[in-house]
Amino acid sequence: MAAAAETGVIDAHVHIWDRSRFHYHWLAPGSPLDHDVSLEDIRAEMLALKVQGGILMEATNTAAEIAWLLDTADADSLNWGVIGWLNLEHPHSILQIDQFSQHPRFKGVRLNCLTPRPDPESLDPTLRALAARGLVVEVLAEPDQLGTVAELARRFPNLTFVLNHFGGWALNQTSISAWCAALQPLAVFPNVTLKLSGYAATDLATLRAYTYAAAALFGGQRLIFGSNTPFCPHGYSAAIHLLMAACADQSKRGAAQSCATTPAPCIACSPTEFQYERLPVAAIHPEWRRFHRWPSARPDQP
């Protein structure tokens, strides 16, 4: 943990929710997660792990949640960006993007590909607007939808797409060769990044193999970390330690020799000044790079 203390952690996939504010259509009554979730639930663990901040991810299909997430980010002592949900096919979506992009912590939207779209080109005006404003499209998809995502990446080379949860695969239930074959067509596009998230139920040996394959396909510069908390069956700290262990020998194996090896601080910028930067993630070497930029100091600090 000494290295983690030196570099800190950026967690690019954190969920919170408040059932008194919003309806969460996926949240089954009486299920283990049928309770409010806040940053305070993992505050002590984040401090112990030197978490600097990260990305608050949408958890329900309403644009109203974005304002609440932005308020939460503003009020918190750590640095958070926000990825929200918008109806990307609605005529008002571009106006909503204009509105939310005035806030420096708004980083983009999540595209839910789990529901097929009869006309994928209906997304085009909104995707062009996101690209013009330097925002990001996070992608929630399953393996059989990755071809559609690859086509979007080809057609919108100036828009960054971030594949959530290792591309939507259950790592314990598939072969690594099948995973590589499915992800390779996406890895060829420089505007596609893979998020190492959704792995918390995976055993160490399997996760180690997939992180090595991911680095070989995408290079360390296009891999980022996300805990996907609170969907961590063994807890927040355990999820981070698991990825640390899986990636501990990556530099020795030469999986991503192009990565930098020195930490880079957070950089203050506007949401339109999008650019990859080095991301030290919890003592993982070589360092992964982050894709979202947000202020290094809170707005109310000098």
Q: Which of 8, 68, 9 is nearest to 38 (CA)?
A: 68
C-alpha–C-alpha distance, residues 219 and 43, integer Å: 32
pLDDT at 229: 96
Answering whether pTM is above 0.85, one says no
Which comes out higher in pLDDT, residue 291 or 263? 291
pLDDT at 262: 22
As a whole number, mean pLDDT of residues 285-298 equals: 36
**Across the chain, what does the average pLDDT equal?**
80
pLDDT in tens, 102-156: 998 999 999 998 777 767 788 999 999 999 999 999 999 999 899 999 999 999 9
User: Is residue 95 within a helix (H) or strand (E), and if so which, with residue range?
Assistant: helix 93-100
Domains parsed from the chain with CATH numbers: 2-23+35-290 (3.20.20.140)
Q: Which residue has the tokens 């992964």?
A: 288
Does residue 166 carry a pLDDT above 50? yes
3-state secondary structure 106-123: EEEEEEECCCCCCCHHHH
DSSP line for 163-204: E-HHHH--GGGS-HHHHHHHHHHHHTSTTEEEEE-S-TTS-H
pLDDT > 70: percent of the chain:
79
CB atoms within 10 A of CB 192: 24
pLDDT in tens, 216-225: 898 877 888 8
C-alpha–C-alpha distance, residues 26 and 21, integer Å: 15
Which comes out higher in pLDDT, residue 283 or 213? 213
